[in-house]
A = this chain, B = another copy of it.
Amino acid sequence: MNFLEERIMHDGVVKEGNILKVDSFLNHQLDVELFDQMGAEWKKRFEGIEVNKILTIEASGIGIACIVAKHFGVPVVFAKKTQSVNLDGEMYTAEVESFTHKNKNQVIVSKKFLNENDKILIIDDFLANGCALQGLISIINQSGASVSGIGIAIEKGFQTGGQIIRNMGYKLESLAIVESMDPTTGTVEFRGQ
């Protein structure tokens, strides 16, 4: 097990409905030392790949992305999520529909901050069905920028998001891939990497 898998085993809480609560270190209270380790690990996994900007999505991706950005020496851009549609035309937008919640959200990035010369590393905390990630890729495609890679902290390997992204040829590096969880015993099984 790597450092993130160990942390999940130690501090993660498995709930009914395939919910993994990691709010004590990843997405409500934030362990920035852990994020630092994640940054070092992704820096290694994406070695030799050009990255000039990190793209993430509010809110829980932002903290991880900022600490990771220090390892790559690049700025972060975070996409905004909104159900509003009052846009001034200077934004890239993608409409993404959540499989889970059945609602539609817009993912928005100002056109000022993405262009065809950008080599983007996408960073986010979770990947399940991948709706948010699909929205981010759509926005990068609209801008003409290219996706250098995708770093996810925790992938739910029993949902389809990761497989779809890998099928499409993207270099997706999830630090922990959960194969199954058992709320009665609290155990989490990880995919071997």
Instruction: List residues of chain A with CB under 8 Å of any chain B CB.
Output: 23-25, 28-32, 35-36, 58-59, 62-67, 69-70, 75-78, 80, 109-110, 112-113
Contact = CB atoms under 8 A, between A and B. Distances in A.
A77 to B, nearest CB: 5
A28 B110 contact: yes
A24 B90 CA distance: 14
Number of copies: 2
A109 to B, nearest CB: 8
Contacts of A29: 75-77, 110, 112-113
Given A23-B110, A66-B30, A59 B78 contact: yes
Nearest to A64: B66
A97 B31 CA distance: 31
Given A59-B62, A63-B62, A70-B67, A32 B113 contact: no
B24 A112 contact: yes
A28 B77 CA distance: 6
A77 B64 CA distance: 13
A65 B64 CA distance: 11
A113 B23 CA distance: 9
A32 B65 CA distance: 10
A75 B31 contact: yes
A80 B59 contact: yes
A109 B65 CA distance: 22
